[in-house]
Structure 1
């Protein structure tokens, strides 16, 4: 049984989670997250902790931001787009039990404010030098780096924020960058 409560988008996600692991979920009901759902999420965080596990798409990212703003310090689990791809689109509900377990085991958390006051390990210039921003293949490179670091895909600004929030170390960053280079991306 996973101790934390997993925040997902809908009923189909809950079904997929329960096929993979024993866990409790809170369903947001899609991207129009209402106040009562946010209050339940806060209570779950206070009592057991939460893991935000949304689809790797724009609505999923919107939910992730709403919950993170309300509950700083929560954990996040990410699926790659390929892991979440189904015949009907992209979503947690399409992921295999093995992919769900991998994402939950790799869930990362951290208080963004605490990370910022503790000094960011990764600097904006690191992203520039790594070709993750202002580069012809920046989006593709960020997508793969996000997979390697376990922080998901994001635009340049959000990718930097995630590096700070999840306290990505220079060593982790360098190892992922070396793998990216080995893959020729």
Structure 2
């Protein structure tokens, strides 16, 4: 599978994992040491070839994703669930995912746009036990996987639903699938 966009990853182990899975070029942020020069290179590449941000599904990875997305709009975003990016010792990172999981995440990459009009309110998130409920974190994690927008806390989830322009139908369909999997919002 050949990918024309440049894939932004955190380090050389991530590059190696991506190259085992697909034929693509990468640019490394060197972890959270994201500097101005790297941001400028990502901007130029976004203009010429397009960019897919593919950072680790952990706090530092999300921080890097956010920094890039704020400075380089209209990038695509690829997400791996933590469960698919975990080593045998419990470490989290793109480099621990299988080639199949990496390919799937890159195939499902989505573009984040300007925040759309609020379609799914914070009240709806509370009503569906995605915020303020004992199972909220688990439900948000699964919802992020189903909608391919990654895990987020309640406030970030609300923002991502708007940024990725998730429709009410997509949201309700994902909730229905969760119910079918036994993740009821009781």
Question: What's the TM-score once normalised by structure 1's chain length?
Answer: 0.94
Give the C-alpha shift of residue 135 in structure 1.
1.1
C-alpha distance in 2 between matches for 1:4 and 1:164: 24
Give the C-alpha shift of residue 163 in structure 1.
0.7
C-alpha distance in 1 between matches for 2:73 and 2:118: 17
Question: How many correspondences in the alignment?
Answer: 181
Question: What's the TM-score once normalised by structure 2's chain length?
Answer: 0.94
C-alpha distance in 2 between matches for 1:161 and 1:22: 32
- 2:62 is aligned to 61
Are residue 162 (structure 1) and residue 163 (structure 2) matched? no
Q: 1:48-93: per-residue Cα shift (whole Å, max 9, x none)?
A: 1111000000110110010011012211000011110013511000
1:97 aligns with one of 88, 96, 99? 99
What are the equivalent positions in structure 2 for 1:45-84 lying under 5 Å apart?
45-84=46-85
Are residue 172 (structure 1) and residue 174 (structure 2) matched? no
- 1:35 is aligned to 36
Give the C-alpha shift of residue 120 in structure 1.
2.7
- 1:23 is aligned to 24
Give the C-alpha shift of residue 180 in structure 1.
1.0
**Where has structure 1 moved over 6 Å in runs of 4 or more?**
none
- 1:125 is aligned to 123
Give the C-alpha shift of residue 136 in structure 1.
1.4
Please say if residues 112 and 163 of structure 2, whose CA atoms lie closer than 8 Å, have aligned partners that are also in contact: yes
SS at match of 2:27: strand
C-alpha distance in 2 between matches for 1:40 and 1:120: 33
Q: Give the superposed CA RMSD.
A: 1.0
Give the C-alpha shift of residue 96 in structure 1.
0.4
C-alpha distance in 2 between matches for 1:104 and 1:122: 26
Give the C-alpha shift of residue 171 in structure 1.
1.0
Structure 1 stretches of 5 or more lacking a match? none
1:138 aligns with one of 132, 136, 140? 136
2:151 aligns with one of 150, 153, 161? 153
Q: 1:159-185: per-residue Cα shift (whole Å, max 9, x none)?
A: 111111111111111110001111222
C-alpha distance in 2 between matches for 1:120 and 1:24: 36
C-alpha distance in 1 between matches for 2:124 and 2:74: 24
